[in-house]
Chain A
Amino acid sequence: MLKRKTKSDLVFDIINYLFLGCFTLMILYPLYFIVIASISDPNKIYSGDVWLLPQSITFDGYKRIFSDSSIWNGYKNSILYAVLNGIVSTTLVIMAAYPLSRKDFYGRNVIMTFFIITMFFNGGIIPTYLVVKDLHLMNSMWAVILPGAMDAFLIIIAKTFFEELPEELREAAAIDGARNLRYLWSVVLPLSKPIIAVLVLFAVVRQWNGFFDALIYLSDGEKFPLQLVLRNILIQSQPSGNMLMDIDNMLAKQRVTELIKFGVIIVSAVPLLALYPFLQRYFVKGVMVGSVKG
């Protein structure tokens, strides 16, 4: 259709390919490096020999990771929190968004305003912390799940989706004698799979990647989610003792710690990597709706 190529367009295309090529490489290379480094000899990483291909392949790092219980415990906790957060968050959002999407719902503007105000002003870290304390949720997994479970933005996204369902559908259902809840359960929800997917994925990713609520609310190491365990290893360079138990040489310890770092990044990324096709499809949808209406 648009085939004519002028000189200036050719220059443009060359610049464009260079620009996007460099940018893509800049994104991709660090990720690729982590993969090859995680199976390379740590001494070769130290000397700078690893940059294009793995060197002296070893699975020592993974063996140490798999033999350590703190990581698996964190994994288990994170999965539990993510699943619970997915359920709680999605349920709450739908309970708020569906009534608000109905034009015959008297008082919808008042309630919507009640939700929206919180987008512009919030109590902040400390007052929220004190509320969690007052509710006796300290050191409970609900402290990690509930305070961030939903916000007004999610309600807007879901409400917009529900508003697009045809009004005739409800009229037809009403003739068949389906009352509000029945209609919501057996007509609306089955039609709302895309928005449910968006809400669940938002909640799961937020929970899987979050660490701050866990940091301030949890004190018992047994309850730590994966991200807190990762923080000890990656940022404070303190893998749990039994990962390095057999090494007494300081230098070797340091090097194996580096190797373990690469391995845990991969291990922690697996669940989201598995979800990536869905994330690609639904995250965009969710953000689009939200940014148009937001």
Chain B
Amino acid sequence: MLGKMKKNYELYLLILIPVAYFAIFKYWPMYGVQIAFKDFVASKGVWGSEWVGLEHFQRFFESYNFKQIVGNTLLLSLLNLAIAFPFPIIVAIMLNQLRQQKMKKFIQTTIYAPYFISTVVLVGMLFIFLSPTSGLVNHIVTAFGHEPIMFMGEEKWFRPLYIFSSVWQETGFASVIYLAALAGIDPHLHEAAVMDGASKWHRIRHIDLPGIAPTIIVLFIMAVGNLMNVGFEKAFLMQTDLNVATSEIIPTYVYKVGIQRAEYSFSAAIGLFNSVINLILLVIVNKTTKKISGKGLF
């Protein structure tokens, strides 16, 4: 063993730098999470600050907006998962049925593009298109004789807009993965099915969907693993004083309390609460899918 290590000593030197990077930028913050259980005072440092147990968690659970913030986070994530997750699967299956390669290529190239638009520009576009005075959407609304709608200023519009913009931005990119999985399905299966007189609907149901099921499961578990961190930047940018009742989610609240008000310990506790829920969700989903399909991520 030592001989092996000696022979490859350069490789150890090489990996030392990324290991140090992870120690500093990933593990040091994990060590710092303990301030969630302490009363962090900058001059005393993480270690020297006093333990206060679960005080910050208790304060969060008892705060008047606890239910609202946790509810908003869960609702937004689950709605997003329910709508934005299946959509790329449908698009990929439909695209896969196109016979004209040029058309397929054109559509793919087009729907893929919004993925590279930054969150700032995406939300900027929402503000522009939905503006009550100059926005295109409200020009259409008023053309039908309605009053202009304050899309970015009404709480009920926050979630639909959030999800719609996710579908708009991410469908093309996500569908690429499913398309690759579809391309990997043995074409003989389709040929045989056609011989037996199976229609396109039948082939999608009995060949395509089972064929990409493993990919769907992996991506589903990964999506759930990110459920509670979903799209913080977008929610943050879409937030206005008027829609805060629906747009305040745990991460935006952590930002407000932690960075703007510098209540480090309290906000670290909220952040930790979020991570723990996330981890629990991930483990549950992984276990459940393992039971149902025999396949899990870990």
Q: In the bound complex, do residue A126 and residue B258 qualify as a contact, i.e. CB atoms below 8 Å apart?
A: yes
Out of A20, A33, A106, A181, which one reaches B4, CB within 8 Å?
A: A106
Query: Which among B121, B139, B275 has the highest number of chain A CB atoms within 10 Å?
Result: B121
Q: In the bound complex, do residue A234 and residue B271 qualify as a contact, i.e. CB atoms below 8 Å apart?
A: no
Q: In the bound complex, do residue B116 and residue A294 qualify as a contact, i.e. CB atoms below 8 Å apart?
A: no
B1 sits at the interface (CB 8 A): yes
Question: In whole angstroms, how far apart are the Cα atoms of A269 and B218 in the complex?
Answer: 32
- Residues in A with CB closer than 8 Å to B107 are 20, 24
| Cβ < 8 Å to B, chain A residues 41-58 | 45-46, 48, 51
Interface residues on chain B, number (Cβ under 8 Å): 95
CB within 8 Å for A209 and B26 given contacts A95-B15, A125-B255? no
Interface of B is mostly: helix
Q: In the bound complex, do residue A123 and residue B98 qualify as a contact, i.e. CB atoms below 8 Å apart?
A: no
- Residues in A with CB closer than 8 Å to B75 are none
Q: In the bound complex, do residue B11 and residue A131 qualify as a contact, i.e. CB atoms below 8 Å apart?
A: no
- Residues in B with CB closer than 8 Å to A288 are 177, 180
Interface of A is mostly: helix
Q: In the bound complex, do residue A9 and residue B121 qualify as a contact, i.e. CB atoms below 8 Å apart?
A: no
Output the nearest chain B residue to A181 by Cβ-Cβ distance.
B10
- Residues in B with CB closer than 8 Å to A128 are 25, 29, 32
Q: In the bound complex, do residue A20 and residue B94 qualify as a contact, i.e. CB atoms below 8 Å apart?
A: yes
8 A–B contacts from the bound complex (CB under 8 Å): A4-B194, A96-B15, A126-B267, A130-B29, A227-B118, A255-B134, A258-B128, A294-B218
Residues on B facing A (Cβ under 8 Å): 1, 4-5, 7-8, 10-12, 14-15, 17-19, 21-22, 24-33, 35, 46, 91, 94-95, 97-98, 107, 109-114, 116-121, 123-125, 127-129, 131, 133-134, 136, 139, 143, 168, 171-173, 176-177, 180, 190-191, 194, 197, 199-201, 215, 218-219, 222, 225, 232-233, 236-237, 251, 254-255, 258-259, 264, 267-268, 271-272, 274-275, 279, 282, 297
Lowest 8 A-B CB distances belong to which pairs?
Answer: A123-B29, A234-B124, A127-B32, A124-B271, A209-B118, A96-B18, A48-B139, A127-B29
